[in-house]
Amino acid sequence: MLYQVESMFDDMEKKMRRLKKQKYEENMENFMAANEAYFLEMEVYLDKGDPEKAAKEIAEEFVEAGKSRYEGKGKGTVQADLNFFMIYYVFPAILKRNHEYAKLLADTLCETWGSSFKNSKIGYTDYETLYKAFREKIFGIF
């Protein structure tokens, strides 16, 4: 399941650099298109049987993929970047697809992510809420 899902983090640094409203919208469209197969695979897996068990398995596999992708690359800033990437791209993309179990998956992934990485108790929101928070730059600070 989720073969090479770590590729979802490709160009993470580029997607997070100088993040402005218009660029975020473009980045999100590209992110969702490039990773549609992974999101579809997650949704199909959630639909097959016990959604809670499936969400936990997906979350664990996703977290392991993230860990292996950035293992040994400096913990502090890389972890912060990963956390922001999850908040800005992964969670909103999951929710934006409006799948029946999207919130369950996002909740489970958020919980698993937070317990798997030190100082990574993160939250999430949907794309529309994040997008509206931008002025020209996210919260006017970047």
Please check whether residue 24 is in contact with residue 133, taking contact to mean a CB–CB distance below 8 angstroms.
no
**pLDDT > 90? residue 126:** yes
Average of per-residue pLDDT values in the chain: 88
Taking residue 66's Cβ as centre, other Cβ atoms within 10 Å add up to: 23
Please check whether residue 65 is in contact with residue 124, taking contact to mean a CB–CB distance below 8 angstroms.
no
Q: What is the pTM of this model?
A: 0.88
Q: Which position has the higher pLDDT, 119 or 5?
A: 5
pLDDT tens for 51-95 read 999 999 999 999 998 888 777 655 557 888 889 999 999 999 999
Q: Which position has the higher pLDDT, 140 or 120?
A: 120
What integer pLDDT is reported at residue 1 of this predicted model?
Answer: 74
